[in-house]
Amino acid sequence: MIKRKRLAAGVCTLLAALTAGIALPSGAVADEVADQPAPKVDLVLDVSGSMRARDIDNQSRMAAAKRAFNEVLDATPEEVHLGIRTLGANYPGEDRKKGCKDTAQLYPVGPLDRTEAKAAVATLTPTGWTPIGPALLKAADDLEGGEGSRRIVLISDGEDTCAPLDPCEVAREIAAKGIGLTIDTLGLVPNTKLRQQLSCIAEATGGTYTSVEHTDELTDKVSQLVDRAADPVVVPEAVDGADACAKAPRLRSGLYTDREEFGQQRWYRVPVPHGYELRASVSVAADRGVDPSYGLLLRAVTVHGREIVRGEAAGNGRTDVLSTGLRYPKAELEGTDGEGELAPETVCLQVTHSFSPAGGVKTTPGLPLEMTIDVVKGPGGSSDVASFGLGRGWWLLGVLVLVGFLAGVLWGWLSRWRVAVWRTN
């Protein structure tokens, strides 16, 4: 019995020794997260009189928004500094000048006290006008300072009532400041004019527009946008794809953004040296109403038009973003370009989508397109990035396989030994 205990202890000791070298440096990870600048989100809620309408899941629009906000506040990541701004919440009168100044900060942007924020939301009552433009200007001020990502999430059930201050022009003005602020918009009514205005606001800053008609949809979308604010900030480079490979811009590794109109093809060129691998992915966002059933195609072809590899995806209206990707390893070959270096191959990337606009929807500008290009050392190369996307994780996988193998052998041997001892007794 003592021998068996010692043997089991020996097995555990060996496994502990093997796995000790691959333990994650939790302290280092925590320090890295703590060093990230705090992302900021300002939720801008329409509290105008029309929010009394009872057409969302048998309750008022205001009740649906409150419920969604409470659930979002519960799920907000700790690192996100969140605030709430209202429009149309305080002035019930008919004086347009006063009504168009009716925007207030309900909860300041900063570390979130969930109880306090929920108490503030509970006080809201549908009241007045819909000053979207003035509210966006104030919300941009709410988010000033810091180096983290900044995002405004605007929820409204109606168009702005304070022209000539066009909220779309306000959004363009905010984008022109170059402060990296994104405005996402959510419409609570399937109204064409509202969709056009909210889509324009979102497009101006690279944000998204979504129409929501149920409380769960509102909760899910706002939560998604708040979570997205916590993601690392990567600013894509604007690029203008061509209608043919020969005229296409030449891209290096990086993140790019473009717009592709309905029924259009966009072309880009990427030099791929011998012994390297091209990894490309593309996403197209339906930032306005589109017909269900659509697809996305990303093709890699030679300059002579021969297809090398393709990636494709299809959707059925359940998501507002469609993505696909491809990989192409360029083998090592002999030959030079006259300067003692192997000449890279020019790979042409073609992006095509089959989104079609819903009735009454503007077709321009095109749908926002985001593309990631990565040219890395291929299998067998000396790069830190290994093949098949595992990178430096190859050594970890190898150690885990070895540990598993040794554990299996030792456990099997121990089991056989125990059976032999049992039979002798």
Q: Which two tokens stand for residue 217?
A: 């949809």
Decide which of 210, 229, 248 is a domain's last residue: 229
At 71, phi and psi to the nearest 5? -70, -35
Could you tell me the CATH number of the domain that includes residue 179?
Answer: 3.40.50.410
Pair 358, 293: CB distance under 8 Å: no
At 313, is the secondary structure helix, strand, or coil? strand
How far from 182 is each of 100, 141, 202, CA to CA, in Å? 23, 13, 8
Decide which of 208, 229, 250 is a domain's last residue: 229
Pair 296, 370: CB distance under 8 Å: no
Paired residues of 200 in beta bridges: none
Mean pLDDT of 265-294: 89
What global pTM score does this model have? 0.54
- Is the residue at 30 inside a domain? no
- If asked whether residues 51 and 166 sit together in one domain, one would say yes
Give the integer Cα–Cα distance in Å for 15 and 245: 55
- If asked whether residues 188 and 49 sit together in one domain, one would say yes
- Is the residue at 264 inside a domain? yes
pLDDT > 70: percent of the chain = 77
- Is the residue at 22 inside a domain? no
- Is the residue at 81 inside a domain? yes
Is residue 247 predicted with pLDDT exceeding 90? Answer: yes
- If asked whether residues 206 and 262 sit together in one domain, one would say no
pLDDT > 90: percent of the chain = 45
Mean pLDDT of the chain: 81
- If asked whether residues 223 and 241 sit together in one domain, one would say no
Give the integer Cα–Cα distance in Å for 220 and 209: 14
Could you tell me the CATH number of the domain that includes residue 330?
Answer: 2.60.120.380
- If asked whether residues 194 and 270 sit together in one domain, one would say no
- If asked whether residues 193 and 122 sit together in one domain, one would say yes
Give the integer Cα–Cα distance in Å for 425 and 420: 9
Decide which of 229, 262, 292 is a domain's last residue: 229
- Is the residue at 352 inside a domain? yes
Paired residues of 348 in beta bridges: 269, 301
State CA 201 to chain mean position distance.
19
Least confident of 137-151, 250-264, 345-359, 379-393: 379-393
- If asked whether residues 74 and 208 sit together in one domain, one would say yes
Range of the domain at 324: 237-387
**R_g over Cα of the chain:** 28
pLDDT at 395: 56
Domain count, the chain: 2
- If asked whether residues 48 and 152 sit together in one domain, one would say yes
Binned at pLDDT 50, 70 and 90, residue 147 comes out as confident
Is residue 222 predicted with pLDDT exceeding 80? Answer: yes
- Is the residue at 141 inside a domain? yes
Give the integer Cα–Cα distance in Å for 379 and 329: 8
- If asked whether residues 136 and 86 sit together in one domain, one would say yes
- If asked whether residues 153 and 118 sit together in one domain, one would say yes
- If asked whether residues 191 and 69 sit together in one domain, one would say yes
